[in-house]
Structure 1
Amino acid sequence: MKMKMKQSLIFFTGMLLILSFVGCGKKVTPQSIEDNPAHHYLMGMELIDQGMPDKAFVRFERAVALDPEYAPAIAGKALVYAIRAEAESDEKYSAADAERAVDQFDKAVSEASSDRTYKFGVYVTGIRIYTRIASRGWLERAEDLYSDAKLMVKEVKEEDLPYYRNIEALHYFMGEAYFKGGEFRKAEDILGIVLAASPGKWHDKSNALYTRCQKILRAMSNYTLTDVAKKIAVKDKVDRADVAALLVDELHMDRLFAGRIPVPGKNMKASFTPADVVGHMFEPEIMTVLKWNVRGLQPIYDETTRAELFFPKKPMTRKELAFVLEDVLIKLTGDKTMSSQHLGQDKSLYPDVNPTDAWYNAIVTVVNRNLMETDLSGAFSPDGNMDGADLILSLMRLRNIMNVY
């Protein structure tokens, strides 16, 4: 008993010593030439790019230990908290991380007050932070930071921006904020500023996001997207539940098929409700899709549970969406031969799809009708994930075809 008490005393004494050192904010002694705040900050930001925020946090902590007033690293810690808040499903924990993110960001702004270059970099990170936490009024706060950072541009020394490198980073991340906020026209305009400048670190990313904006804006040229559709449109990859939701909410699939497909009873329903659909926010839409037995969105047998499940969070691949779109066309037109029109070809039309692949016919069908596109090389990328912008554009084009029938 005495031994346990002694061990506990040693533990708590050690913890108090650690906390006292942290509280004092004393600098630690560098262990090597590369053991400096700027290096650890740069490594931390690159780890965030690689999807390793926890490892990045360790780097930022080391930078702050070496220099407690090093604003870029303090802002880096805030960004990690924001990433955690975005990923956290529990609202309570998410809110706590979001609060930590804002507190650390405010501290970074305070520490950078005497250096315009550091402050510029901190403000760019701040836009990223508010984009991640997406709390009430986040977009307006990001706009304020953008406006303030623009006033500093003439005083910024780009060579002292170890990670961002050039001022175009400001425009790129504000464009990303507008994109997430559903302000696609504003996102397109501001990303255009980056593309008009000499190619730099943020040029390719801006071009990719600019292209996604254009796809969504083209889709919206004839139709007004619902709020749900706008939220799905900005996703890097959509899941099966997203596709079901848009088929029902944007294409009004239930009403569309009701008068075209003969059913034995007036109140047609899905044969069963998969267990993983119960309580899902898109449960009604998923059940509607199951009712019409849309190919590519049928239940999947799960070996673990030995049950047919829908897997609402499973990412939708491009070949799977091709099946979905082709099946909708078949049900819409009543032309069942469509599912086999392109079978038996000796040579594939696409370098990454074999004519014997089960999805080959569906891909040819949707590409020929301009519902989906290949890349510049002619490749279809059948196993690639669908992003929200491509999904929205495909469904709006399908909607135009529907108007013909």
Structure 2
Amino acid sequence: MRVTCWISIFMVALLAVGCGKQPRQPQSMLDTPAHHVDVGMASLDKGAPHQAQASFDVALELDPDYGPALAGKGVALAAIGNWRDGEDYVDDGLDEAADPSEELFAHVAALRAMTWATRNGQLAAETLLKRSDSVWKKGARLVEKNGGLDPAPLNFYRGEACLQALDMDCAENMFSRVLSANPSNQQYVERAEARWRAVQMIRRAALKTNVGIRIALTEQITRADMAALLVEELGVGRLYEKTEPVGSEFLDAGAAAASEGGTVLQDVANHPLRADIEAVTRYGVRGLQPFHGGQFKPDVALSKAEGAMILEDIIVRASGDDSLATRYIGRQSPFVDVRPDHAFFNAVMLVTTRGLLATNARQGRFDPLAPLSGAEAALAVSALKTELNTW
């Protein structure tokens, strides 16, 4: 009787396995788990975590136990905001790693996932520093034991974790490791060099608030970011409260009401930088006024030309010298990409002659339509702060 019972249980187990979802058969030469993981990682690097997750899911259809696909999906989930499930997938990816290379991949994925968790407010900065240090040490030991493994991704993403936790010394050390190791993937050299320069710029800017530091780390600053820099780092209110906004007569009804504090901008009601946005709106900072209909559009990115116009307005208002707004009109342009008839020509000339925004002197370019980075904006605000203190 007992034997019969065990046979029945065994048969049920076999049936359960047989009814489970079977791996999908590849349909082309590139329809492989490794290829789909590569596509997913590229999507992550482009800031498209949902698209990345879809690629990792396709890889898992082919091989449900493929470690890199599991770990990659964990990063995508963390980026989307699902840190709990993301952490589990990264752990599964490490458990299923088939060789040291896949194990290192999982450690790097862990660094990326926990950095996203902190960025999304799901993991404390102090915890990020401790946990990322532990993961980095495990990865470093793995690299030391297995020749041929590239430590660049491990060092780079440990640096990113340190930046997210605002530990500048740790970040600088990690990015320096990438630059000194001459990795096989030149992409990491370029990215580490850019981040290392950002750390140096932040140090020079001597930012006094964590908000300012975080904004300085962004690759492309938004209207909301600039508002926060002006209010929290520059203290722009003291420069504007006793002066009239330039061009205030051209504001539409919604924008004028917002600038007078008569209405709350609907698209910033739940924005974390709402107070800073409403402040610059009240002050009437040129370039950061509400759009028609009273929309601020906080997440719209700023170009260098737009940043120059904002800085120009501050200089004119703070100095009380209205002639600065037209000082360079009619002059020749030293830049091949900024014509004298461009609306932002005077602003570009004003900020570049004061060294507030950098130029490409070798090519004679200002790159007005290029994204304004957080580091560039922070340095400009810091330099402007020094200049304003002399007036």
If the TM-score is normalised by the length of the shorter chain, which range does it land in? 0.7 to 0.9
Equivalent residue in structure 2 for 1:179, among 151, 157, 163? 163
Partner of 1:121: 105
| Whole-angstrom CA distance in 2 between matches of 1:157 and 1:37 | 25
TM-score by length of 2: 0.82
Partner of 1:45: 41
Equivalent residue in structure 2 for 1:294, among 285, 310, 316? 285
Partner of 1:4: none
Partner of 2:79: 83
Equivalent residue in structure 1 for 2:204, among 195, 218, 227? 218
More deviation, 124-133/231-240: 231-240
State the shift of 1:145 in Å.
0.7
* 1:236 matched to 2:227: no
Q: Which amino acid aligns with 2:73?
A: K
Equivalent residue in structure 2 for 1:317, among 294, 303, 315? 303
SS in 1 for 2:294: strand
SS in 2 for 1:294: coil
| Whole-angstrom CA distance in 2 between matches of 1:31 and 1:314 | 41
Unaligned runs of 5+ in 2: 1-15, 246-258
Partner of 1:10: none
Partner of 2:366: 380
Quick one: structure 1 residues 52 and 256, their matched pair in 2 at CA, closer, same or farther if it must change by over 3 Å?
closer
What are the within-5 Å matches in structure 2 for residues 149-298 of structure 1? 149-156=139-146, 158=148, 166-198=150-182, 200-201=184-185, 202-220=188-206, 224-258=207-241, 261=243, 270=260, 272-276=262-266, 277-278=268-269, 280-298=271-289
| Whole-angstrom CA distance in 1 between matches of 2:295 and 2:55 | 42
**For 1:348-383, what per-residue CA distance to the aligned partner results, in whole angstroms no more than 9, with x for missing partners?**
211211111010000110011111111353322222
SS in 2 for 1:250: helix
State the shift of 1:205 in Å.
1.0
State the shift of 1:78 in Å.
0.9
SS in 1 for 2:228: helix
Native 8 Å contact 1:43 1:56 kept in 2: yes
| Whole-angstrom CA distance in 2 between matches of 1:368 and 1:52 | 39
- Aligned CA RMSD, in angstroms, stands at 2.6
Native 8 Å contact 2:224 2:277 kept in 1: yes
Partner of 1:148: 138
**For 1:286-339, what per-residue CA distance to the aligned partner results, in whole angstroms no more than 9, with x for missing partners?**
3332333221122221xxxxx233222222222121111111111111111111
| Whole-angstrom CA distance in 1 between matches of 2:25 and 2:273 | 55
State the shift of 1:233 in Å.
1.8
| Whole-angstrom CA distance in 2 between matches of 1:61 and 1:169 | 23
Native 8 Å contact 1:117 1:157 kept in 2: no
**For 1:82-123, what per-residue CA distance to the aligned partner results, in whole angstroms no more than 9, with x for missing partners?**
2211xxxxxxxxxxx2111011111112122x6322211110
Native 8 Å contact 1:294 1:324 kept in 2: yes
Native 8 Å contact 2:111 2:132 kept in 1: yes
Partner of 2:353: 368
Sequence identity percentage: 31
More deviation, 178-187/44-53: 44-53
SS in 2 for 1:151: helix
